Each structure stands twice: as C-alpha cells, then as structure tokens.
Chain A
Amino acid sequence: MLSGSTAIQRPKKRGFQKFKKFLPIYLMALPGFLYLFINNYMPLPGLVLAFKSYSARLGIWGSHWAGLENFKYLFASDAWLITRNTILYNIAFIIVNTVLSIFVAIILSELTSPLKKFYQSSILLPFLISSVIVSYLVFAFLSSDNGFINNTILKQLGIKGISWYTSPKYWPFILIFVNAWKSIGYSSIIYLATILGFDRSYYEAATIDGASKMQQITRITLPMLKSTVIMLTLMAVGRIFYSDFGLFYQVPQNSGALLPVTNTIDTYVYRGLLELGNISMSAAAGCYQSIVGFVLVLLANLAVRKIDKDSALF
C-alpha cells in the first residue's frame, strides 16, 4: 500500500520538478513549436479543398463537394512517368547524398588543419544559394553559345559542342550531381555534429589496442552513426513523393526537350495548373503526396523495426 502511494506521488512531483528544471529549454523550443503549429498544423483543415470544387465567392467551407474528381488528373496517361521520375530521383538522391555526406563528415572530423572551419563553411555555401541562381551557375557551364563546357573544355579536347538542354540522356547525372553539390554540405554537418559527440575514450582504447585510422572508422564511427543515418533516411523517405521544384524546374531552364527526364509530380502539377489556376486540383496533389509520404514513412519504419528494433523511430 505504502509503496504504491509513493509510487504514484513521486513521478508527479518529479514531473513538475522536471518541467521547472527544463523550463528554459521548453521556452527555447517554443518558437519552433509555434512555427510547426502555424505552418504545418493550422493549414490542415485546408486539405478539405482537395475534395471540393473551390470557388472564391463561396469560400473554403461553402464550396461544393466534388468527391475524388480533383485527383483524376494525377493518374492520366503520363502519370507513371512522373511518378517514376520522382521516386527514382529521390532514391538516387538519398543514396548518393548519404554516402557522400558521411564521407565528407568523417574527413572533416579527422582533419586537424587550421582551415577546418573554412572548409566547413564553404561546403555549406551551395546549400544557401537559391535555385534560380544555381540554375544560372549551371547554365554558365552548359549554355550552347557561351557555356564553359562547350566553349572551353570540349573545344580544348577537340570534341564538338553538345546541346545540353535538348539532350535528355545527360540530365539524370547532371541533376544528381547538382543536388549532391547543393545539399551534402548541410547533411554532412549533421553527421559531423554526431561524430564529434561520440565518446573519445572508444577511440583512445582502439588506438592503444593498435587499431588503424581505417579500422577506427569502420569499426567505431560507422556503427555508431547508424541511428542518425536511419533517422535522416526515414525523414527523406517521407518526402520521396515530393521533388525539389527549383531543381527540376529552374535548373533545366524549363526546357521542353528534357521533360521526359525532368518532369516530376511537382513540375507536372505546376505546368498543368499554371493556366487553369485551379486551387482544388493543387490541393489534391498536395494531399496525395502527403498521404503517400505518410504511408511510406510507416512502412520504412516497420522495416527498420524488423531489422533493428532500437533504431526505429517509433
């Protein structure tokens, strides 16, 4: 009896004390929570638009119901192409970016050069550049008339210039390269932060036991990074049905010839609705993407839990 009552009281008191103790941290998190709430939760009721035929006159709630009518266009005859592009590109991005950013993070963590901070900042720089500017940086390389590759590199090698913006076959590589260049800086910093948080005594013990640098990396760093890799990958899998609009629309300069390899769900919706201005159909696309993304996260998490229970998110 006695022990039972204290068992009930203690966590309560503890909970409050804990709350008081962590209050400054909660306060620090508050702007983030508010942002999440305003940006991600408040618009949720707007999803109802996907099932209505929106009229500005009648408002969101007054518009008439349209059933699944708005979703139809996502499954028109070209739908498999855009779905394939979206998913394959994202899978490629996840693999390439993860491998490269872990590679970069490990190199950075092993560096002792005084220039380390400089490397870290400069590798992050592309992440902060807007897609429009990236698209012109790429254009500076690939332009047929004045591009660096056609007019300098290929000319030196005696190869005839390539019309990059009309040749779809090169673009899967260009896009994966540009995406990696743009985003590994950011994700490598997350990995680097994790690596720097590891207990140094593991490495000291390994050094004493005579382990080489390579062995330390493969036996200590990589296994300990596993949970971070899984978390970041799961988050990426949740967005596998979304595509970076700037990358797929701006970087290929909206060139029609490249559509078979650059049209993704987002650009398809944008191109189709640019003239229509149909808000319900855009909402339907967003709704479809979030539902599929949600299901994919659940499935991926399930798979992770099957393999390694401790690494699963939930």
Chain B
Amino acid sequence: MERTTIDLWFGAFVIAGFAALLVLALKAGNLGAERPASTYEVQARFDNIGGLKVRAPVRSSGVLVGRVADIHFDNERFQASVTFALDSRYTFPKDTSASILTSGLLGESYVGLDAGGDEKKLAQGDRVAITQSAVVLERLIGQFLFSKAQEDGAKK
C-alpha cells in the first residue's frame, strides 16, 4: 500500500483526538486513580439516609475507602438498606459503626466509618450493625424550638 500525506494527517488527527480524550479521562476525570482494583461489599441499615446518593464516597478518618454501591428501601423493616463497596486494601473490625455525614454545612452527603475494637474483620456480605442516621436539619431546628418553648413554659 502506497503512503500518502493524507494518511499521515489522518493518523495524526485521530491520535490527537485520542490523546485529548485520554487527557480528559485521566487528568480531568477520575478514571484510573479512583477506581480500586477489587472491592468487597458490606451492608448497613439506616433509619434515614438524608441526601445520600449512589456513588457517594465512604470515608474513614477522612480518607476515601469506598463508595456507596446501592441504596434501596427494605420493606420489611421499613428502613433504608445501603450497600458499600469498600476497597479490599482496607479492612475494618466487625463492630465498626457507620454514620451519614455532610461535608460542610450544605455540602454533599457521605458515609463515615469509625473503626471499633473487635478482632474479627468485616468481610463480603457482612452487615454493619451500629449505624447513625443522617441529621435532618429541619428536624433539628424543630427539636430546638420545641425544647426552647418547654424551657420558657417551665420558667413561668
């Protein structure tokens, strides 16, 4: 097959396109660094998940250790059932507690894991027993107002 300059330009053009896509994927996007090679799944039940969404980060001591893989409503216990995909590099004791937190006052919701003292480790399919629900701001304000009103009533 004879070589022409058009081939050269076409090749350079396509390579430039792929290079740009690669830059977008690796440098601007989160492909590569963020996706752990292998994960194990752990479940937890929450009374209220607030604004938690699938793919929200799971952090322990502020370090990203996994992501929320699935959220669904357990219709027998009337609670939210959340599945975390945790990076296999990290293991946690069986009595680890999970709580739903917010980064900043109005930031995104994430799951915080606090390690316990058990010698056994969480494995694939285990359940995190100790959970703390999301703090719903409206409810908090309601409670505050209610207790304030009660205080005033008691004083009189």
A and B co-occur in one complex: no
Chain B contact residues, CB within 8 Å of chain A: none
